[in-house]
A and B are shown apart, each in its own frame.
Chain A
Amino acid sequence: MILETEALESRHGLLVAVRGVSLGVDAGETLALVGANGAGKTTLLRTIAGAHKPRAGRILFDGQDITAMPAYKRVALGIALVPEGRRLFTGMTVAENLQVAGAHGRKGPWTLETVLAAFPQLVPKLSARAGDLSGGQQQATAIGRALMTNPRVLLLDEVSLGLSPLAVDQVYDSLRGVMQSGTAVILVEQDLGRAIGVASRIACMLEGAIVLQGDAAALDRAQITEAYFGLQRHAARNGHAAQNGQDQHA
């Protein structure tokens, strides 16, 4: 495991957003986090990236405990987050957004040239202000900016949120190359079909905890949907034959 969390807990004030999450990814693996709004997916990614301080638990990177490490040092180790809402430096050009990330991250195969080869839709927009781009171009720039730091673990929050279907296809086409290059990817995706399509493993979150986890090939849509809405737990509470989501954990 290149990245592991152990019983990770994160809070927003009194609200427990992530409760006891233990998961891991291997190099080259793509883990899709699914779950309803407010399930804690974004907070989990932000905690792994170091943008949110955990309350309890540990985060291990290559076996090294990085729980207390500031976000900018985690980037040097090889963790990059594409934040929800993209958060580009809107007053700067696309090229500058990429260059500024390239100057501070790890060195590796991702450079301005290779990022532009992966996201050819950015080439004509290089000197445009990032704030003036379309949603799809902004998402491509945000992913490109994260890649410029040459991550070993790429965290993608809400890749397709607010994008046209065509733009989503385009972004995922580019991501396929990234996933095949050996980079571990954890992505949050609202579109269940797409999550099953691209991920090697799926983890479903409900109210801060992981209620279902397994190989994408081994899980079917109905199982995930049940876990997504907490139907199993509801059924168990009503005295039906309990099929607890945690059983799927192994």
Chain B
Amino acid sequence: MNFLNQLLQGALLGGFYALLACGLSFLFGVMRVINLAHGSLAVLAAYWLMTFCNMSGLSPFLGLALMLPAMALVGWGLQVAVLNRSLKAGPLIPILSTFGVAIILDNGMFETYGANSAALGPFIGDLAYGSWSLTDTIYVGQLDALIFVAAVIVLGGLTLMLRYTPLGRTIRATADDPAVVELIGVNPHRIYAVAVAIAMVLVGLAGAALGLRGSFDPYAGGPLLIFAFETVVIGGVGSLWGTLIGGIVLGVSQNIGAEISPHGFLIAGHAVFLAILIVRTYSWGGLRFPLRRAAA
């Protein structure tokens, strides 16, 4: 029974990982950019929500209406100031420059918000700890369920958008061949800017989930990036539904690892990630699962 509970809690945790990873996966799928500032940007979004709640006394869910557009603007700025320039210099430079952005963000947040950890839980009342009991021993946290459902809606919405809307088709065509979309009247840099803005809205949602379900501090970005990265690789790079599966595999592995040994949580997660990475590298046709497969 306890094992079953760990399985369920792990799957719910996987929903959070999927929400955390989908921005990373989307950006790589469209632009072939690995954004090493991904985790730090999620922490920034969580701090912005906390600032909103502290100043207004309103619910963080209302704060999303302000924070998500602000993150979209951050994405646009990131594209214009960092990615657009560094992409010209080859595939390695965006990795280095986003690493630089991560360092600036981490230390900037440390400077601004201090070393204490923060949380959004106090602003949402019962939801932070409320749960439904399935049996005498198995409970489902309301917030965990909400985040899981949000992840499914976000991934589903993104998939539908890519598949059926004119913008989605343009994004996929640009991901497929940025030189050729110019020949049908598309400015690829504009589409990249839109894609980064979308990715940052996804990061904003992940940051909100991060703040709601636990605590965070200015240097929380690094570990978050690792979990997001592992989720993407387990699920297949650029594949959006694979991201959900990847999150669930990671979450379940961690929870079962924790059941086996108190130190098992991280070790089991990393071990499963490495095992799948090795299998993917030597079979299954390599690591690159392009975005178009996700939408097809």
Contacts and interface: CB of A to CB of B under 8 A. Distances in A.
Contacts of B186: 72, 100, 104
Interface of B: 166, 169-170, 172-173, 176-177, 179-188, 290, 292-293, 296
Contacts of A37: none
Contact of A149 (B172, B176, B184): B184
B169 A145 contact: no
18 contacts: A51-B182, A72-B182, A72-B183, A80-B183, A81-B183, A83-B183, A87-B180, A89-B180, A91-B172, A91-B290, A96-B172, A99-B169, A100-B181, A101-B184, A103-B170, A104-B184, A104-B185, A105-B185
Interface size for chain A: under 10, 10 to 19, 20 to 34, or 35 or more residues? Answer: 20 to 34
Interface of A: 49-51, 70-72, 75-76, 80-81, 83, 87, 89-92, 96-97, 99-101, 103-105, 129, 145-146, 148-149
A91 B173 CA distance: 9
Nearest to B170: A100
Nearest to B169: A100
A103 B168 CA distance: 12
Given A72-B187, A100-B169, A103-B166, A89 B176 contact: yes
Contacts of A97: 173
B184 A92 contact: no
Contact of A71 (B170, B182, B296): B182
- Most chain B CB within 10 A, of A72, A87, A105, is at A72
Contacts of B292: 89, 91-92
Contacts of B181: 72, 100
Given A103-B166, A129-B296, A89 B183 contact: no
Contacts of B172: 89, 91-92, 96
A70 B187 contact: yes
Contact of A91 (B179, B188, B296): B296
Contact of A75 (B185, B188, B296): B185
Given A91-B293, A99-B166, A105-B185, 13 more contacts: A72-B182, A72-B185, A75-B182, A75-B184, A80-B183, A89-B292, A91-B172, A97-B173, A103-B166, A104-B186, A146-B184, A148-B184, A149-B185
B169 A83 contact: no
Contacts of B290: 91
A149 B180 CA distance: 13
A89 B172 CA distance: 8
B195 to A, nearest CB: 15
A50 B182 contact: yes
Contacts of A103: 166, 169-170
- Most chain A CB within 10 A, of B172, B176, B184, B187, is at B184
Contacts of A96: 169, 172-173
Nearest to A130: B176
Contacts of A90: 176
Contacts of B187: 70, 72
A103 B177 CA distance: 17
Contact of B176 (A49, A75, A91, A104): A91
B182 A70 contact: yes
Given A89-B172, A92-B172, A92-B173, A49 B166 contact: no
B183 A51 contact: yes
Nearest to B179: A51
B142 to A, nearest CB: 40
Nearest to A49: B183
B241 to A, nearest CB: 16
Contacts of B173: 89, 92, 96-97, 100
A71 B185 CA distance: 7
A74 to B, nearest CB: 9
B292 to A, nearest CB: 3
Given A92-B173, A92-B176, A104-B170, A145 B184 contact: yes
B39 to A, nearest CB: 30
A87 B177 contact: yes
B19 to A, nearest CB: 26
A101 B185 contact: yes
- Most chain A CB within 10 A, of B166, B170, B173, is at B173
A184 B7 CA distance: 65
A99 B168 CA distance: 11
4 cross-chain pairs, A with B, having the tightest CB-CB distances, nearest first:
A91-B292, A75-B185, A104-B185, A101-B184
Contacts of A91: 172, 176, 290, 292-293, 296
Nearest to B188: A72
Contacts of A92: 169, 172-173, 176, 292
Contacts of A100: 166, 169-170, 173, 181, 184, 186
